[in-house]
Amino acid sequence: MFNNRPELEKDDFYSLINTIIAKGRDYGNTTIGNGQKVNIEFVSANPTGYLHIGHARGGAYGDALANIMIKSGFNVHKEFYVNDGGNQINKLGKSIEARYLELLGEENVLPEDGYHGKEIIQVAQNIIDASGDAYKEDGFEHFKEYGLEFLLDRLKGHLVEYRIEFDEWFRERTIYQGDLQETVKQIKDNGFTYESEGATWFKTSEFFDEKDRVMIKSDGGYTYIVPDIAYHKNKFERGYEVLIDVLGADHHGYMDRLRSAMEMIGKDSTKLEFQILQMVRVYQDGKEVKMSKRSGKAIGLKDLIEEVGVDPIRYFFAARALSSQMDLDLDLALRKSNENPVYYAQYAHARICSVLRLGKEQGIEPTKVEVYDYLNEKASGLLTLLSTYPRVIDECATKRIPHKLTNFIQELSSEFHSYYNAEKFLTENKTETNEKLRLIKAIKIVLNDALKLIGVSAPEKM
């Protein structure tokens, strides 16, 4: 029964089943990360906006990568950078102020470059409900701070619904309180700036950039990249050995500038990694969908959650390399058939649970086995696959490719479904039944763990 298995000896089969069951979700844990401190920054959406489909894809990638790297022994910190130090927050305050005065019956004009969404009216109404016209004369700072926290809490809520929770919400404004000026001074002191056309430039062309860039504009304001330089300096100084940024496709030029700036301030730019996500097209009824029926805007995370649920979105986004453009088929995501990869994987888990549950109802609880006599070639294939799980985890972690884990999930699900269709598990032979239940219990543990790593649930009934 145990022929044609190049990867495992017969005794290893026995010990592997017992090892997986004994370790539970710890099976597959490795030490390849050696405790290296890694900062993964992802999503980092403007809190004055909403989470769009790009944030949804980047969020699924960043969270899955973090989970997998933790399993591989890295010390991972998940971080969201809150853009609350720039001019957009002042625009937010002015927009809320205009809506607030409008709701109080005062004549006021919403700034042309302000925020026009319905949520701004809601924020203004909340302030009136709580404090009436108390901020009619001098409420700008309150509008700004209340609006920021309200919208940030809404954003956090959507991410929690998407099963993403960050270790830290780092505020940009803290950079303006010291790190920014210190960073600019360091770049100047190190001789990497010059004056031209009334502006201060820094010599990014001496490193990785195609040309030099403006650091301080002629009006004295900083260009957008300067706070980012200070922020990444701050990350290094918090002790992180690797910085991973998950960014949109429009950030290619940004990477070379930031790497150059890290060298200017004495940081190792090779420790800075960028994972660039590509465009997602959404299809329904065979046609591309660009606008949300719910909001009238471009399709966002909340729309996807309401339309198809968290599991399909997390799985579909995790299943493709971040660097590849992808088409998201909403009809496929909703389909309850083997064509739908997330349904196929979850159904494998539910089937195992069903068999184990039936066994329990018949008074059969799988007990430890030292010698297996009833595992056939299909079982052999499943065990060989289970034995590769730690290597798959390490490859996903070190190469930053969580989509390889969904490949493993699909292969394991396929092997199990084939085994399930060919076998009878609850037999009159108690020894045979026990061995088969031990095997599928081991499969269940690994499948459950792999799904959880990519943020997908493992239902026990379907």
Tell me what the mean pLDDT of segment 42-54 comes to: 91
Which pLDDT belongs to residue 295?
63
Residue type, 75: N
Using the predicted structure, report yes or no on whether residue 284 has a pLDDT greater than 60: yes
* Contact (CB, 8 A) for 282 and 52: no
Cα angle for residues 152, 158, 163 (degrees, 5° grid): 125
pLDDT bracket for residue 252 (50, 70, 90): confident
Average pLDDT over residues 114-134: 93
Q: What is the mean pLDDT of residues 212-228?
A: 94
Cα separation, 59 vs 322, in Å, equals 11
Non-local CB neighbours of 329 within 8 Å, separated by 6+ positions: 283, 284
Indicate the range of 79-93, 148-162, 393-407 predicted with least confidence: 79-93
pLDDT given for residue 4 in this prediction: 42
Is 80 exceeded by the pLDDT of residue 135? yes
Report yes or no: 314 and 454 within 8 Å, Cβ to Cβ: yes
Instruction: Report the share of the chain in percent with pLDDT over 90.
Output: 83
pLDDT-derived band at 6, boundaries 50, 70, 90: very low
Is 90 exceeded by the pLDDT of residue 67? yes
- pLDDT band per the 50, 70, 90 thresholds, residue 11: low
* Packing angle, helices 53-71 and 389-399, rounded to 10: 120
pLDDT, tens digit, for every residue of 320-329?
Answer: 999 999 999 9
Going by C-alpha positions, the residue among 381, 287, 440 that lies closest to residue 7 is: 381
Which two tokens mark 165? 């929770």
CA-CA distance, 443 to 447, in Å (whole number)?
Answer: 6
Average pLDDT, the chain: 93
Residue 406: both structure tokens together = 């969904």
Q: What is the mean pLDDT of residues 4-21?
A: 69
Token pair of 295 as six digits? 């909001």
Give the Cα separation of 454 and 57 in Å (integer). Answer: 12
- The pLDDT score that the predictor gives to residue 269 is 97
Averaged over 305-323, what is the pLDDT? 96
For the chain, what is the largest distance between any 2 Cα atoms, rounded to a whole number of angstroms? 89
- Structure confidence at residue 294 (pLDDT): 63
Domains in the chain (CATH in brackets) are: 10-30+338-453 (1.10.730.10), 37-83+167-277 (3.40.50.620), 87-161 (no CATH), 280-334 (no CATH)
d(CA 271, CA 266): 12
d(CA 276, CA 381): 36
Pick the residue with more confidence: 167 or 138?
A: 167
For position 49, what pLDDT does the model report?
82
Integer Cα distance of 445 and 23 in angstroms: 9
The answer to whether 175 touches 224, Cβ cutoff 8 Å, is no
pLDDT at 5 over 50: no
The C-alpha atoms of residue 69 and residue 71 are separated, in whole angstroms, by 5
The pLDDT of residue 143 is above 50:
yes
In which residue are the tokens 């890290």 written?
262
With cut-offs at 50, 70 and 90, classify the pLDDT of residue 2. Answer: very low
pLDDT tier, 3 (very low <50, low <70, confident <90, very high otherwise): very low
Could you read off the pLDDT of 416-461 as tens digits, one per residue? Answer: 999 999 999 999 999 999 999 999 999 999 999 999 999 999 999 9
Q: For the chain, how are helix, strand and coil distributed in percent, rounded to 5? A: 55, 15, 35
Render the burial of 321-337: b for 16+ CB within 10 Å, e for the rest.
ebeeebebbbebbeeee
The residue-averaged pLDDT of 349-354 equals: 98
Alpha carbon distance 129, 104 (integer Å)? 11
Ordered DSSP codes for 192-260? -EEEETTEEEE-GGGTT-SS-EEEE-TTSPBPTHHHHHHHHHHHHHTT-SEEEEEEEGGGHHHHHHHHH
Angle made by CA atoms 135, 98, 291, in degrees to the nearest 5: 130
pTM of the model: 0.93
Residue type, 329: D
Question: Which residues lie below 8 Å from residue 292, measured CB to CB, with a gap of 6+?
Answer: 298, 299, 300, 303
